[in-house]
Structures are given as structure tokens and as C-alpha cells.
């Protein structure tokens, strides 16, 4: 297992290098100019000098390797220094600078990450906590009213996009009822119970919208997987041994049913960082998704490139984790 | 076998019905039989004759809905186990009646170790501690002939071969020393040499442990080799029943006769065609007012289509449900054999 993990991690390096290059070249080929936002009164010579100052005068391969060095060595050293508080870890000198804000991308990402993790991460955890029990019970009592209702709700949750449910909730709960604020206030510092209440209220709607969506998806998988297993012969064997229904369902069937669901859950984790782009836009949550969108609008190439590669790393990593979890849950799978 | 001893299991008029889209299917129709201590009862019949459903009905192992045990009594240990509560029934399963199923490849849970699955009933029914259960599990695996038992407790089912898995299943069924072992086609999914080994094992265990066994199969050769009594089922009913030698020497039901003729002969012409019973088993959607075998029976006459024959005693502890008299080859009137 250890060897397998190591081999997979080593194999991930060329994969990620290739992904980074592909994204870089795509951005090179894409239309748009970082100078486009500048006033038209700036003379062309000055404009050209500004381009050179941003480093856009160099050949593409030089820019790519410079970015690669900064991304893999310099930026991580700063992130590490911030996390540990050990300033000497940070490497002095040039960092990846966002064209838009003129600050290092690593610092901006570090600033935005908590919002995304709180809202999107929490809704993913809630989604799992809601979906797994509902999926189990729906399958165990297939075609009962509970199952019918659960199937209906998850169908609705799955088919309605978050850009529909989001504004709908805003209309009902913010405009008509006035219970929750429309805009997510990122500057809110929680240091009293009152602020904590505010934080809960501003998180309620985005978390609910995303939870509904995540839960709908996972419920379907959980239910289908349980149904597959409930009719297996080993279930009859467990019953014939005199095991209680609780043991039969929650020990024998559940463990088998979790195998495919674990994979789905693990593969879904990268979407915590990427998939909530639209929801973050709607609720004005100042997270990574919103950051990526504004960076794309502004042709902020260093930011778009860095974020995209970070997402790619997460996806590759969680793919590996899903494969490893597979082996943990299913003794028939061994990577030796 | 000790004749006349009180049966360990006494089933009377068991009726099981499946609710389907096209109406009710009468899968088990007034089946009665008993099982004496230490005896091996063979149950034969083709697929869909209700053998397995009968046995699963006894312990409520059929999924309900669609299955429903509609009537009958199943006396085990002085009480009717169709009438007892769910918790008490769970204490019968595995504790008083052990079950071995057909396919050892799928009957064991693939994600738990054999030791875990074997210890489960020991801990639940006998209240053993973890260590006690493990020691007993080792004994059980040794009993069913699995070498290196202590080490193999930690193995998963996929690390065993088919025959070994069926041995594990038998060990699980026997874990709590049940009075009755129900084996539902335990050798059907195994190849012939392994089949013979499992049969030998069961014979041996029966002598050692003395439990009564119900052995479901469609292999008449197996029945001839190990059973004391045989019950032939057709269309959810008992067609014929009696001591093995008697039934094989003197088959009274046209279905039993046909079954025996389908067995390939070891001697005789090599190019002789295999005999088959023409036609299909009946659909049991209607409460059968006729003998279910009528359509395929060589001796059927008008009465067979009107009246479902009752089981009648024909001597030597042998009974048959048929309107046709095999000794004289004559149809029987209602006076001679009441329906």
C-alpha cells in the first residue's frame, strides 16, 4: 500500500506539470489583454512599458518556467511561513503577483480560503450527514412514503440549479421575510455571541442551497448502493444466523454499500473548492470561486493559472485518496 | 432411525403466497412434513417446485412483501414458530435451526473476515466473550476440515476456494449446535469432486453431532446416497413422500417415476438419448383446483383436471398425492381416494 501510494504520488508530478503547461498555453492563446482596463489616454509607449513591467515581454517558455519555480518553491515557502509563524522559512525576492491587485497570489488565496471552506465545506459535510441516513432508510423501506418523499426531494434538489434555488431563497427569506441578509459580509469578525448569530444567519442560505444539492446527489448513490446490496445472498445468511435487522443493515449491508459511495464523496471534495463558483457569486461570498471569476474577467493570468493548478492538484490528490479508501473498505482490493 | 420418536420439527398445512403484478402466486400449497431427531430428510423437485420457499417460510426468511406465510403451523421445541415474535424468531435462527445456502460464492459477506462472520452467532446466541468465540470458531473450522484454522480466521471469503467457503458456511450453520440443519442445495454450485467431499463431510458431522438435516436438492443421486426419507415436491405441493429405498424401488407418483427415468444410465447403450419430462412447470397464479402435474402427466384423466389429489397412505410409511393407482395402473374413483 505504501509503495503504491508513493508510486502514484510520483506519477502525479508529470501529470500535474503537463496540466500546468496546458493551462498556461490555453491562457496564452486566449484573447484578452491585462492592459484592457487601463484608461485609453495612456500613450502606447507607456502601455508597452507597463506590459514589460508585468513581465509580458519575455518568451512564453521563460515565463512558464519562472512561474513554475515561483509556484513550486517560493509561494509554498511563504504559505508555510505564515502557517507556522516562522518568518525565516519564507524565501525573499520575487513572488507571483496578481495583475489586478498587485499583491502576491498566495496571500490572496490564503485570505479567501476560509470563506470557501466555511460555506462550501460545511455544506458538503452537512450534505453527507443528511444523505447517508436518508439513503439507508429509503433503501431499507423501498417504495414507502418516506422513500417516495426522499426520492422526490432529491430529484428536485438535483435538478434545480443552485442559481435558481439561491435567488428563490433570497426572495423568500431576505426580501419577503427579512430573516437573513442578502450579502455575505466577509469582514465580520466573530468575537461575541451576537456576531456569532450574525455569522450563522448569513451562512444559512448559501449553506442550505449547497447542502440540498450535495445531499440530493449523495442520497441517490447511497440508496442505489444499499438496494444493490440488500438483495445479496449474504444478507439472507446474516438473517439466518439470527442477527437483528440493525446489525444486518448497519453492519453487513452498510459496509458493502459504502464502497462506491466513499469514492463518490472523495471525488466530490475538490468541487468544494471549485464547484461553488456560481453559488459564491449569487450570495456574494468572497471565496475562491468568486476570486477565480473576477480574475478571469480581468485577464489576471497569474491568478487564473495559479488557482487552476491548485484545483488540479486537489483533484489528482483526492483521486488518489479515493483509490486508497477503496482498498481500506474493500478487502478484495489490494495494491501490491 | 428411531421410528415414532417425537419429531423435532413438525410442519402442517404450510401455505405461502407471493403477491405479484399478475395476481397471487401460491408457491407453497398445504405442505406438511415432519423431521425426526437425527434423521436426514431429502427434498427433491425441479426448479420452482417450492422446495426452497418452503424451508425459508419456516423461519420467515422470505422478503415480505411480496411473500406472505398465509397459514399453517411449524412446531419446533414445543411451540409454533410462525406465531412467535420477531426477537424470539431470531433466537431460533442460527440457534435452533442452522441454514446452509446454495452459492457459497455469494452467501458470505465479502468485506468481513471469516472469523467475524463465524463469531457473530456465537456471541449473540451463546453470549460468548470475544476470546471464547474465537476459540470455538477455531474448533468449528477444524471440525469442517479447514486446515490451519486459527490463522485462517483473519482471512476474507475471497481468499477461500468454493468448497472451502461452503465448509465455512456449514461451520457457521453449526456454530450454536442447532437441532435442525437446513441445507438448501449446498452442493449445486460446486463441481463434482468437491460435491462428494461436502457430502462426506455432512455424513460425518451428522454422526458426530446427531442433528436432524433437511437436504434440498434436485439431484436424485445425492438423495439416494445420504437421505433416510425423501419428499418429492411439485408445483408447491408434496407429490410423494416415504423412506428412500421404498420410494426409489416403488415410485407411486407419475412425476417421481418420470424424474427417475430422466437420470442418465451408467450402463446400456451409449447413444441412448437423455430422457426429459415434456412441458413446463405450472404457473401457480391460481389456487390450484387441479393436480398441478396434470398437463405433463402421462396418466392424467378427467378427474385430475377437476380435483387436486390429497395425500393417501400406500403402506410402508409411503404416501402419494395422485388419483392414479400405480399398482394396477387404474384411475381411482372418489370413493377409493378422496381428494
pLDDT at A275 > cutoff 70: no
Query: What is the percent of chain A where pLDDT is above 70?
Result: 99
Query: Taking CA atoms, what residue in B is nearest to A332?
Result: B158
pLDDT at B331 > cutoff 80: no
Residues of B in contact with A237 (CB under 8 A): 99, 101, 107-109, 169, 172
Task: Look up the ipTM and state it.
Answer: 0.85
Same domain, B169 and B285: no
Q: Is A192 within a domain?
A: yes
Domain final residue pick, B177, B209, B233: B177
Inter-chain touch B101–A241, beta carbons under 8 Å: no
Angle between helical axes of A254-268 and A193-230 (0-180°, round to 10)? 130
What does the pLDDT average to over B296-303?
81
Number of H helices, E strands in chain B: 12, 14
Task: Measure CB to CB from residue B95 to each of A239, A242, A329 and give the nearest one.
Answer: A242
Q: Is A12 within a domain?
A: no
DSSP string for B260-314: HHHSPPSSS-TTPPPP---S-PPP--S--SS-TTGGG-TT--HHHHH-PPPPEE-
Q: Is B276 within a domain?
A: yes
Same domain, B152 and B256: no
Q: Is A336 within a domain?
A: no
Same domain, B161 and B148: yes
Residues of A in contact with B120 (CB under 8 A): 238, 241, 243, 247
Residues of A in contact with B106 (CB under 8 A): 232-234
Q: Is B337 within a domain?
A: no
Nearby residues of A192 by Cβ (< 8 Å), 6 or more positions away: none
Residues of A in contact with B93 (CB under 8 A): 239-242
Q: Is A276 within a domain?
A: yes
- The confidence score (pLDDT) of residue B338 equals 61
pLDDT at A269 > cutoff 70: yes
Query: What is the percent of chain B where pLDDT is above 90?
Result: 20
Q: Specify burial of residue A176 (Cβ count, 10 A radius: 0-12, 13-18, 19+).
A: exposed
Q: Is B336 within a domain?
A: no
What does the pLDDT average to over A285-297?
87
Extract the C-alpha cell encoding B161. Answer: 476456494
User: Which 3 state secondary structure label does DSSP give A47?
Assistant: helix
Same domain, B87 and B215: yes
Inter-chain touch B93–A259, beta carbons under 8 Å: no
Query: Taking CA atoms, what residue in A is nearest to B182?
Result: A240
Identify the band that residue B334 occupies on the pLDDT scale cut at 50, 70 and 90: low
Q: Is B1 within a domain?
A: no
Which CATH number is B40's domain given?
A: 3.40.50.300
Same domain, B69 and B155: no
Same domain, B147 and B291: no
- The confidence score (pLDDT) of residue A284 equals 84
Query: What is the percent of chain B where pLDDT is above 70?
Result: 93
What does the pLDDT average to over B280-302?
76
What does the pLDDT average to over B312-323?
85
- The confidence score (pLDDT) of residue B213 equals 92
Residues of B in contact with A242 (CB under 8 A): 90-95, 121, 124-125
Mean residue pLDDT of chain A comes to 88
Query: Taking CA atoms, what residue in B is nearest to A254?
Result: B111
Q: Specify the pTM.
A: 0.83
Identify the band that residue B335 occupies on the pLDDT scale cut at 50, 70 and 90: low
Inter-chain touch A233–B99, beta carbons under 8 Å: no
Distance CA B8, CA A303 (A): 79
Same domain, B297 and B207: yes
Domain that holds residue B54: 9-96+178-331
Number of folded domains that form chain A: 1
- The confidence score (pLDDT) of residue B270 equals 66
Same domain, B155 and B262: no
Q: Is A53 within a domain?
A: no
Same domain, B258 and B279: yes
Domain final residue pick, B159, B177, B195: B177
Q: How far away is chain B from the Cα of A215, in angstroms, using its nearest Cα?
A: 26
Distance CA B277, CA B258 (A): 6
Per-residue pLDDT of B176-225, as tens digits, reads 888 899 998 888 777 888 888 888 888 888 888 888 999 998 888 888 88
| Cβ atoms A279, B138 nearer than 8 A | no
Q: Is B339 within a domain?
A: no
pLDDT at B323 > cutoff 90: no
Q: What is the residue whose three cell numbers read 428563490?
A: A168
pLDDT at B3 > cutoff 60: no
Same domain, B125 and B55: no
Distance CA A216, CA B128 (A): 43
Query: Taking CA atoms, what residue in B is nearest to A243?
Result: B90
Q: Is A56 within a domain?
A: no
To test the contact with chain B by mutation, choose from A231, A234, A241 the residue with the greatest count of B C-beta atoms within 10 A, namely A241
Distance CA A250, CA A259 (A): 14
| Cβ atoms B301, B331 nearer than 8 A | yes
Mean residue pLDDT of chain B comes to 85
pLDDT at B2 > cutoff 60: no
Task: Measure CB to CB from residue A241 to each of B110, B113, B121 and give the nearest one.
Answer: B121
Q: What is the residue whose three cell numbers read 370413493?
A: B335
Q: Is B189 within a domain?
A: yes
Per-residue pLDDT of B224-273, as tens digits, reads 888 899 999 988 889 899 999 988 888 888 888 888 887 776 676 666 67
Same domain, B116 and B220: no
Which CATH number is A271's domain given?
A: 1.10.3720.10
Q: What is the dihedral of CA A166, A172, A174, A177, to 10 degrees?
A: -160
pLDDT at A150 > cutoff 50: yes
Identify the band that residue A304 occupies on the pLDDT scale cut at 50, 70 and 90: very high
What does the pLDDT average to over A286-302?
88
Identify the band that residue B1 occupies on the pLDDT scale cut at 50, 70 and 90: very low
Q: How far away is chain A from the Cα of B202, in angstroms, using its nearest Cα?
A: 19
Domain that holds residue A150: 111-285
Which of A154-168, B86-100, B279-293 comes out lowest in average pLDDT? B279-293
Residues of A in contact with B99 (CB under 8 A): 237, 240
Inter-chain touch B172–A331, beta carbons under 8 Å: no
pLDDT at B15 > cutoff 60: yes
Inter-chain touch A242–B92, beta carbons under 8 Å: yes
Q: Is A198 within a domain?
A: yes
Sheet containing B9-20, strands listed edge to edge, beginning at the edge strand earlier in sequence: B23-35, B9-20, B67-76, B79-80
Domain final residue pick, B177, B211, B240: B177
Residues of A in contact with B126 (CB under 8 A): none
Distance CA B244, CA B255 (A): 16
Q: How far away is chain A from the Cα of B338, in angstroms, using its nearest Cα?
A: 39
Task: Measure CB to CB from residue A242 to each of B91, B111, B158 and give the nearest one.
Answer: B91
Q: How distant, in Å, are the alpha carbons of A32, A199, B152, B229 from that of B246?
A: 95, 85, 44, 9
Nearby residues of A143 by Cβ (< 8 Å), 6 or more positions away: none
Task: Measure CB to CB from residue A240 to each of B59, B103, B125 and give the nearest one.
Answer: B59
Number of folded domains that form chain B: 2
Per-residue pLDDT of A209-266, as tens digits, reads 989 988 998 999 999 999 999 989 999 999 999 899 999 999 999 999 998 898 889 8
Q: Is A329 within a domain?
A: no
Per-residue pLDDT of A87-116, as tens digits, reads 877 888 888 888 888 889 988 998 888 888
Same domain, B154 and B269: no
Per-residue pLDDT of B134-166, as tens digits, reads 999 998 998 888 888 899 999 999 999 888 898
Q: Which residues of A touch B (CB under 8 A)?
A: 232-234, 236-244, 247, 252, 255-256, 259, 329-332
- The confidence score (pLDDT) of residue B108 equals 93
Extract the C-alpha cell encoding B32. Answer: 406438511
Amino acid at each position: 500500500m505504501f509503495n503504491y501510494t508513493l508510486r502514484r504520488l510520483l506519477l502525479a508530478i508529470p501529470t500535474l506539470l503537463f496540466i500546468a503547461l496546458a493551462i498556461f498555453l490555453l491562457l496564452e492563446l486566449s484573447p484578452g489583454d491585462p492592459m484592457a482596463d487601463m484608461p485609453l489616454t495612456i500613450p502606447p509607449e507607456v502601455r508597452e512599458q507597463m506590459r514589460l513591467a508585468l513581465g509580458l515581454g519575455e518568451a512564453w517558455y521563460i515565463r512558464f518556467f519562472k512561474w513554475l519555480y515561483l509556484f513550486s518553491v517560493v509561494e509554498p515557502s511563504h504559505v508555510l511561513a505564515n502557517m507556522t509563524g516562522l518568518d525565516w522559512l519564507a524565501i525573499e525576492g520575487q513572488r507571483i503577483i496578481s495583475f489586478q491587485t498587485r499583491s502576491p497570489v498566495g496571500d490572496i488565496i490564503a485570505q479567501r480560503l476560509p470563506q470557501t471552506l466555511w460555506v462550501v465545506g460545511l455544506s458538503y459535510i452537512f450534505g453527507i450527514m443528511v444523505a447517508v441516513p436518508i439513503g439507508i432508510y429509503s433503501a431499507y423501506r423501498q417504495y414507502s412514503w418516506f422513500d417516495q418523499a426522499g426520492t422526490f426531494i432529491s430529484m428536485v434538489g438535483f435538478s434545480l440549479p443552485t442559481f435558481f434555488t439561491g435567488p428563490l431563497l433570497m426572495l423568500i427569506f431576505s426580501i419577503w421575510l427579512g430573516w437573513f441578509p442578502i450579502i455575505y459580509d466577509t469582514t465580520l469578525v466573530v468575537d461575541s455571541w451576537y456576531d456569532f448569530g450574525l455569522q450563522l444567519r448569513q451562512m444559512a442560505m448559501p449553506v442550505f442551497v449547497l447542502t440540498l444539492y450535495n445531499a440530493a446527489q449523495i442520497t441517490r448513490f447511497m440508496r442505489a448502493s444499499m438496494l444493490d446490496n440488500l438483495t445479496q445472498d449474504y444478507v439472507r445468511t446474516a438473517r439466518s444466523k439470527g442477527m437483528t435487522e440493525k446489525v444486518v443493515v448497519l453492519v453487513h449491508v452498510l459496509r458493502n454499500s459504502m464502497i462506491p459511495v466513499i469514492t463518490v464523496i472523495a471525488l466530490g471534495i475538490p468541487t468544494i473548492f471549485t464547484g461553488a463558483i456560481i453559488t459564491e457569486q449569487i450570495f456574494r461570498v468572497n471565496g475562491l470561486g468568486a476570486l477565480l471569476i473576477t480574475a478571469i474577467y480581468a485577464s489576471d493570468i497569474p491568478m487564473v493559472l495559479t488557482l487552476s493548478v491548485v484545483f488540479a492538484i486537489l483533484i489528482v490528490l483526492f483521486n488518489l485518496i479515493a483509490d486508497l479508501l477503496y482498498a481500506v473498505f474493500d478487502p478484495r482490493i489490494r495494491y501490491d | 432411525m428411531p421410528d415414532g420418536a417425537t419429531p423435532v420439527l413438525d410442519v402442517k398445512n404450510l401455505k405461502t403466497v407471493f403477491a405479484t403484478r399478475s395476481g397471487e402466486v401460491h408457491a407453497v400449497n398445504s405442505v406438511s412434513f415432519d423431521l425426526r431427531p437425527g434423521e436426514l430428510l431429502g427434498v427433491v423437485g425441479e426448479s420452482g417446485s417450492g422446495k426452497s420457499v418452503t424451508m425459508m417460510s419456516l423461519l420467515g426468511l422470505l422478503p415480505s412483501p411480496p411473500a406472505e406465510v398465509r397459514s399453517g403451523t411449524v412446531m419446533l421445541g414445543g411451540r409454533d414458530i410462525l406465531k412467535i415474535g420477531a426477537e424470539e424468531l431470531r433466537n431460533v435462527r442460527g440457534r435452533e435451526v442452522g441454514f446452509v445456502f446454495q452459492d457459497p460464492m455469494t452467501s458470505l459477506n465479502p468485506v468481513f473476515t471469516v472469523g467475524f462472520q463465524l463469531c457473530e452467532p456465537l456471541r449473540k446466541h451463546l453470549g460468548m466473550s470475544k476470546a471464547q468465540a474465537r476459540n470455538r470458531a477455531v474448533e468449528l473450522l477444524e471440525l469442517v476440515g479447514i486446515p490451519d484454522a486459527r490463522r485462517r480466521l483473519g482471512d476474507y471469503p475471497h481468499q477461500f476456494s468454493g468448497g472451502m467457503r461452503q465448509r465455512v458456511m456449514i461451520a457457521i450453520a453449526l456454530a450454536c449446535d442447532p437441532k435442525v440443519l437446513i441445507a438448501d442445495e449446498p452442493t449445486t454450485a460446486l463441481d463434482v469432486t468437491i460435491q462428494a467431499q461436502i457430502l462426506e463431510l455432512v455424513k460425518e458431522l451428522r454422526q458426530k453431532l446427531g442433528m436432524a438435516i433437511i437436504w434440498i436438492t434436485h439431484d436424485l443421486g445425492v438423495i439416494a446416497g445420504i437421505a433416510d426419507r425423501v419428499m418429492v415436491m411439485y408445483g408447491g405441493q408434496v407429490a410423494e413422500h416415504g423412506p428412500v429405498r421404498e420410494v426409489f424401488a416403488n415410485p407411486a407418483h407419475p412425476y417421481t417415476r418420470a424424474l427417475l427415468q430422466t437420470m442418465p444410465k451408467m450402463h446400456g447403450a451409449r447413444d441412448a438419448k437423455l430422457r426429459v419430462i415434456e412441458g413446463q412447470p405450472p404457473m401457480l397464479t391460481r389456487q390450484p383446483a387441479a393436480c398441478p402435474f396434470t398437463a405433463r402427466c402421462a396418466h392424467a384423466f378427467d378427474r385430475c383436471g377437476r380435483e387436486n389429489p390429497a395425500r393417501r397412505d400406500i403402506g410402508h410409511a409411503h404416501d402419494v398425492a395422485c388419483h392414479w393407482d400405480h399398482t394396477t395402473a387404474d384411475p381411482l374413483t372418489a370413493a377409493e381416494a378422496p381428494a
